[in-house]
Structure formats: C-alpha cells, structure tokens
Structure 1
Amino acid sequence: MKPGNYYVRKQDAGIQLLAWLKVSLKLDGGSCNQLIAAGCIFIDKKQVRDPKLQLKGGARVFLKPSPKPLKTNKKKAEARVVIAMPEIIYFDDDIAIVEKPSGLTTVHHAQDKKEFSERDRKFLPSTLQDILPDILSVHTKKKVPFVRAVHRLDKETSGVLVFSLNKKAESSLGKQMREKKFTRRYIALVRGQIENQEIRSILVRDRGDGRRGSSLKDPDGELAVTHVKKIESLGDISVVECELETGRTHQVRIHLGESNAPLCGEKIYDRPINGRPKPDPSGIDRIALHACYLSLEHPTSGKVMSWKSSIPHDMQGVIERFREKNKAPE
C-alpha cells in the first residue's frame, strides 16, 4: 500500500483501525502499530493514534510515508482490495466532477447486475457511483441521495468524470452526450509511433476473434471517431492525445490497437486478428490511458465549464524513464 488517500468501504464500517490496517496494508501488527505511533495515519484530515478506533464507512484515510521500512505480511494474500481515494475536483447542487483512480469501476453495467440475484449483488465490488454519495456527504455536510454516472471510464483508465446529482441534471447532461456537446480528451502512452490523424470506423462486438473491433460488413455496428495528436516521441513509445467525437465502448483502445500503436499495458486490443501481441516495453501494470480534459454546459446555468487533470504518477514515471533512455549523450 503506497502513501496517499484511501477510502473505507461501507461494509468495513465498525472495523478497528489496527485490524483495517493489518488487512489492507498486508502488514503485521507491530508494523501497523509503528505507523500509528509515528503519526502516519490521518482520518478525515485528523491525525489518529488510537489503534482501537472504530472506522466509519466513507472515511478518508491518509497514509504518510513511514519513517522506517515496513515488512509485508505475505500470509495476508487473501487481503481485501483497498480502493484509492477518488478526488472531488468540483461540485455544486447539480454536478460533481471527479478524478477516478485506476482500478475502480465507474458503475456496474445493467447486464452485469442481471447475471446476479438480488442477494448476490450485495457482494459485487463497490463502484465509484456506489461510494461517491458518502464521499460527497463529507464535503457537503449533508446526505447526497442522488448520484448518477453520465459516462464511464474503463476500470483501469483514470481521469475526469462527471456525475449528475439530480434528475434534471441527468437529463440535461445525457442530452448533451447524445448531441456530442461534451469535449473529452485523453492522454495515452502507446507502443511505437503514430502520426496525427482522424480514425473513423464502424465498431462491432466481434471483429472475428471474439474481441470488439472495426468492421466494414456489419450494418448494426456503431460509428466511432477519434482524433489523435502526437505529443512526444520517445523511441519505443509515444505520448499521444486522443479527443473523442463519439463515445463508444473501448473506442480509444480499439482505434489505437488497430493503428498498430496499442496502448502500453493493453492486453486485449494489442494484436491483429488471430495474431500475436505487439511487444510492450513500458512495464506499466495497467492500461496507460488517462482522461485529462472534460468540457460541458452546466445543466442549470448553461455556462460552458471545463476541467483538466494532470498525468498520473505511474504514467509520468514511464515517460521520465523513456526520456532518460533516449537522451542524447553529452
């Protein structure tokens, strides 16, 4: 578990701090007590030193770097997943702009829920839409009863999303999405080189090998348009910006993969039909795609608003490594 912000899930409410740290950080009790005693644990911005403190669902846990190295408890392999804390960039009575961390699902698809009974749905992993009401209530100091995702990011994709906080806003933002009034841009790390271009294709559920992809034959496919701009060439990888004209499932991932420049970290759309994956020199352990810019009309005021998000540390680390690798000798 790295230093930073983390979130206590509803189902973990009532667990004592020491027990939560042991399970979440995969550390032994002595190391967890060391963190607590050293003042490394903050809950909702308050430093805590009581290992028996009972945690509340929705609490923000901030972990400072430990002054001493800690040993991982390998026996805790079954430890539950700790969700990195989403960041609230902006909110008002109508919308919330959130920066989603990689590894957190935006919202369960309706089809996913249909595959489980009502009882079993309770055990599905929490999504950003599930946990957001609790996080927003900390900011607003009141209950937030209505939160709906207007669009989605893939689980491994990080970046900016908008959520509606009432039905009127949901309707307005949904209409804007359909009328293509949103501006959405992504920063991506891709394998190899790619030139500036507009990629336009018809996307289908099965391109011929069980994967989504482009087809010229399927009349039931959906038009997808992505504008690609090269930002930086770094030898074996490139940094590109992708602006969506349409918002189809896995659109950026598919279009880059079919252009022989699959995303770094991509494990599905990284090969031609029945072909081998293109080698990935990045070493990144997730899809290197980040939603860096979002613009829309506010559902009440009508004012055009926009938000930016910086490249996350894991992607920036890959960029710095390849810059150093490709630096000309002095």
Structure 2
Amino acid sequence: MSHPYDNSEDYNDLSENRVVQIPTEFAGERLDAALAKLFPMYSRSRLQQWIKDGHVLLNGEPALGKQKVYGDEQILLDAPPPPELTAFTAEEIYFPVVYEDEHLLVIDKPAGLVVHPAAGNWSGTLLNGLLHYCPSQAQLPRAGIVHRLDKDTSGLMVVAKTQLAQTDLVRQLQARTVKRHYRAVADGLVRQSGTIDAAIGRDPRNRLKMAVLSFGGKPAITHVEVIERLQHHSLVECRLETGRTHQIRVHMQKAGHPLAGDPLYGNPRHAMSDAAREAVNLLGRQALHAFRLALVHPATGETMQWKSRLPADMRALLTVLRSEMHGKALPLDDDDFDDEDDGDWEIIYTREE
C-alpha cells in the first residue's frame, strides 16, 4: 500500500545521500546560496536547517551556511526524509478502549492526545497508537479514524476496523445520524437551552482560529442544554448535528459563553473568585468532554450507545465551583447522565444572512 503522503520525487531524493562537486563558477558565494542552486527542488530555508542540523558536510566537515565556497569542494547532503513521510508509524500510546469487536473500536480519548499527525505533531498521536494496538489498521485510510476531537478535548471516539465499517460510519456522519453529546463548563450563566445555528470558517484575522462567518462558512448546528447554573459558570450539554473544527468552542464563544479554560477562544478576564480561577488554571485546557456516543452498528444494524464519565480534572473543577456555590466544601462526585430525549428547542442564535 502506498504511503498517504508519498506523492513526490523529493522522498526518493531524501532517502539517499547526495554527493556533488561545487562548480568553480560558484566561487565567492555563500554555501547556502550555492546549495539552493544545486538543489532547486528544496527550499532555501530547508537547506539552511539541514546545514544547521549537521546534515551537510563540506569536504567531510560540518558546514556553516554563511561560509564562502571557492569551487571544487565536495558536498555531502545527508538529509532525513520530511517528518510527514514517517508519520504513519506504530507507537505504543495509551488510550482506554470502551468497546471493540471485529468491525469497530470505541475509545475514550484522554485530553492532550492529538488524533491525527499534522504539522507540529508528526508522532505521538492516536493514529500512531492505533497502528501499534491493531497493525491491520494500516490497511485503512487514516487508520480507520472517521472523526476527530481536539487535542485537549477528552472523550468518546469511534474508529472503523474494516473498509466497509469505515464507509458506513462516514455515511452516518454525513447523514448526521451519529449522536455526539458533550459536557462542558461555560463562562457565565447560560440563560436558556436552545440551538446555535451559525456558519463556521477560518478566522480571516487569525488563521489559527475558526470563527462564525456571515459569508463563506460551512453550516454548523449545535444544540445546547443547560444542566446546572453555578455562581459564575454553567454546566451545559452540547449536541452536535455537524462536526466543524472547534464547533462547540466557537459557537459558545459567539453566544457569549466561551468554555472555561479555553486557551484559544476563552475569556481570561471572566469575573470569578480566586478559588475558581485557580481551579480553571489548574484544568489547563478547555472544559469539554465527549461523554455520549450513539450510532448504528455498521454490520448488525443495531443502535448502540456508549457513555463516559467526566474525567478527573473536570470533576475537580466542578467540585470547586459547586463548593463555592453552596458555601461549603463538597466531596468529589460524578455527574448523573441525563437520559431524556431532546425535547423542544428554541433558536437562540441564527446564522447571519
């Protein structure tokens, strides 16, 4: 099976040592400039980094990018392959398995675990762990991953173990029949339950973020139910119809209730007590957990559902917030799951036309 990133001649070049002679007409030029001419398939910044990392030898000695060449020197370029070409390797990475059969795998992703290799995280991801846990996953696109959670969002994910299961799960996601419920701690007192219907796209002012857009965004719908109002925060349940990047975090920010501890969309100036602020800071991530997942089994047609308790860090945060609310220390406790049906919804935010 071909590697998902193996589509360029650069990989073949990088898998071998390259030995060249500096032409005499390059005399007086900087080494990095000469290399840029000798290896035009690579960017100058990449060549400079390879020089810095010791992958370029000049007459057998480590080179400096700014040093001059005089012609006839021997260059040895011993560069590693780009990290994206070695990303799909098996690594022993822990993730709790909630359910498994020959067709699918349901995991409870810990906070801090990246789902898929990408720039800045080419290793140590859930995908790498899946390839170690079940090597046959290498035969499936994205190792059977059909949806994602943000790095610092914890909770339930389903992974396909066969091509037929992957195709069926993708279709269910596209048809919006997979039910994904989240519990979140939001800033402020959310006044009422309702639905946020607001298109999401890349933030034009900060390409690292997503934003609600008046034009050009993709449709995004989040149902929000208030579970508990605390002194300066609310425990809410968010139910996704669509699965846009950072959807809950962006929608809650737009509704004026960003998630507690969210480093990208949160409000660090949100008014709260010193004890609450310390607890939010100790959380160190957005207070968001995918606690319920329901879908139709791709092989049996049976509707299946899994639930995951809130992780210890979110339970600890809620304990502090509840103790503050009631004016006394409370024991660390789990939250009851609400098994009621969706009920009636009121539109509280609509997409701008």
| Cross-structure match for 1:156 | 152
SS in 2 for 1:174: helix
Letter in 2 for 1:93: E
**1:245 equivalent in structure 2:** 241
Cα distance in 2, alignment partners of residues 239 and 227 from structure 1: 14
Query: 2:91, 2:128 within 8 Å by CA — same for their partners in 1?
Result: no
User: Shift of residue 267 of structure 1?
Assistant: 1.7
Query: What's the counterpart of residue 262 of structure 1?
Result: 258
Report which stretch shifted further, 244-253 or 194-203.
194-203
Contact 1:293 1:308 in 2 (8 A): yes
In structure 1, list runs of 5 or more residues that go unmatched.
Answer: 1-56, 60-82, 114-122, 138-142
Within 5 Å, give how 1:1-330 maps onto structure 2: 85-109=94-118, 112=119, 124-136=122-134, 145-146=138-139, 147-194=143-190, 195-210=192-207, 211-216=209-214, 218=215, 220-270=216-266, 278=270, 281=277, 282-283=280-281, 284-328=283-327
Note the aligned Cα RMSD (angstroms). 2.3
How far does residue 221 in structure 1 lie from its aligned partner after superposition?
1.3
| TM-score normalised according to structure 1 size | 0.64
Q: Distance in 2 between matches of 1:99 and 1:260?
A: 29
**Aligned sequence identity (%):** 32
Q: Secondary structure at the match of 1:326?
A: helix
Q: State the alpha-carbon separation in 2 of the partners of residues 329 and 160 from structure 1.
A: 33
Q: Which runs of 4+ in 1 moved over 2 A?
A: 133-137, 143-147, 207-211, 276-283
- Secondary structure (helix, strand or coil) at the match of 2:248 reads helix
Q: Distance in 1 between matches of 2:234 and 2:134?
A: 37
User: Residue by residue, what CA displacement relative to the aligned partner does 1:156-206 show, whole Å, maximum 9, x if unpaired?
Assistant: 000000001111111111111111110000000111111211001111212
Distance in 2 separating the partners of 1:226 and 1:125: 32
* Deviation of 1:314 (Å): 0.2
Q: Deviations over 1:31-78 (max 9, x none)?
A: xxxxxxxxxxxxxxxxxxxxxxxxxx866xxxxxxxxxxxxxxxxxxx
SS of aligned partner of 2:220: strand
Which residue identity is paired with 1:102? A
Aligned with 1:243: secondary structure?
A: strand
> 2:195, 2:221 within 8 Å by CA — same for their partners in 1?
yes
Secondary structure of 2:114 counterpart: coil
Post-superposition shift, 1:254? 0.2
Larger radius of gyration: 2
Q: Which amino acid aligns with 1:127?
A: T
Indicate how the Cα distance of structure 1 residues 150 and 209 shifts in structure 2: closer, same or farther if over 3 A, else same.
closer
Deviation at 1:328, TM superposition (A): 4.6
Question: What is the number of residues matched between the two proteins?
Answer: 228
Partner Cα distance (1:207, 1:186) in 2? 28
**Which residue type is aligned with residue 195 of structure 2?**
E
Post-superposition offset of 1:329: 6.9
